[in-house]
């Protein structure tokens, strides 16, 4: 399998962590989707990474679909409960963590891709409000539990860890560690895992 991605995308990191936890073999093909020469749309019409190219040449996107698929192809380190309410709960955690990222990335891009005159503070505030509300919700859901789903490590922790890691990387001013010590405790524990250590976001 070939994973098309980057070393900074938190959604790509989520898939890389899942691959590592499940001990799946893959090659990582780095792709800069922001340059005009990118060929990403040949594999994903939406022009986004991650995109997984399988042995038969077919492709999978987005990160949630890829993660869910990868969990079905190996019994090693099951990251999603087989069915029922717990499975949905993990997916809600993932939607929450990805949603925080979606909002934060819109702010990041607003600042990077638009001139100061073009930028809308109202838009930035709207998205930042989602980031902060999402962090608050994550902390409240986590409470004093060891992991998002209680005592079991799951895809929920992978998604939350990647979201917090990306905020630390791109938005160091957001003090989620100080505001939510339980998220910091979870993040520090996740950061000790080889899957997280080996995928810390880095500028190419």
Binding site for ligand GSH (CB under 6 A): 9, 11, 33, 47-50, 62-64, 98
Which of 51/180 has CB closer to ligand GSH? 51
Which of 21/98 has CB closer to ligand GSH? 98
Residue, CB closest to ligand GSH: 62
Instruction: Please state the closest distance from residue 21 (CB atom) to ligand GSH, in A.
Output: 18
Which of 171/185 has CB closer to ligand GSH? 171
Q: What tokens does 81 get?
A: 């409960």
Which of 76/109 has CB closer to ligand GSH? 109
- Which residues neighbour 73 within 8 Å (Cβ) at sequence distance 6 or greater? 24
Which of 14/22 has CB closer to ligand GSH? 14
Instruction: Please state the closest distance from residue 11 (CB atom) to ligand GSH, in A.
Output: 4
| Orientation of helix 63-73 relative to helix 10-21, angle to 10° | 0
Instruction: Please state the closest distance from residue 178 (CB atom) to ligand GSH, in A.
Output: 26
The string of DSSP letters for 133-167 reads: HHHHHHHHHHTT-SBTBBTB--HHHHHHHHHHHHH
Q: How many CB atoms lie within 10 A of CB 120?
A: 10
Instruction: Please state the closest distance from residue 145 (CB atom) to ligand GSH, in A.
Output: 25
Instruction: Please state the closest distance from residue 168 (CB atom) to ligand GSH, in A.
Output: 15
- DSSP letter at 102 equals H
Which of 48/141 has CB closer to ligand GSH? 48
Residue positions counted in the chain = 204
User: Distance between CA 183 and CA 147 in Å, rounded?
Assistant: 10
| CB-based contact 147:154 (threshold 8 Å) | yes
User: Distance between CA 111 and CA 119 in Å, rounded?
Assistant: 7
Q: What tokens does 91 get?
A: 């997916």
Instruction: Please state the closest distance from residue 38 (CB atom) to ligand GSH, in A.
Output: 9
């Amino acid at each position: 399998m070939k994973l098309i991605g980057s070393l900074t995308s938190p959604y790509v990191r989520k898939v890389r962590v899942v691959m590592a936890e499940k001990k799946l073999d893959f090659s990582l093909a780095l792709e800069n989707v922001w340059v005009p020469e990118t060929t990403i749309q040949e594999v994903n019409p939406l022009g986004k990474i991650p995109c997984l190219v399988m042995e038969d040449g077919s492709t999978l996107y987005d990160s949630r679909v890829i993660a869910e698929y990868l969990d079905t192809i190996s019994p090693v380190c099951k990251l999603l409960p087989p069915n029922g309410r717990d499975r949905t709960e993990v997916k809600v955690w993932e939607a929450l963590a990805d949603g925080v990222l979606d909002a934060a990335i819109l702010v990041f891009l607003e600042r990077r891709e638009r001139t100061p005159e073009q930028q809308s503070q109202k838009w930035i505030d709207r998205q930042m409000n989602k980031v902060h509300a999402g962090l608050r919700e994550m902390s409240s859901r986590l409470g004093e539990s060891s992991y998002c789903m209680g005592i079991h490590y799951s895809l929920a922790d992978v998604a939350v860890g990647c979201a917090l890691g990306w905020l630390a990387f791109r938005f160091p001013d957001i003090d989620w560690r100080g505001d939510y010590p339980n998220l910091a405790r979870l993040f520090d524990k996740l950061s000790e895992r080889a899957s997280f250590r080996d995928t810390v976001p880095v500028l190419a």
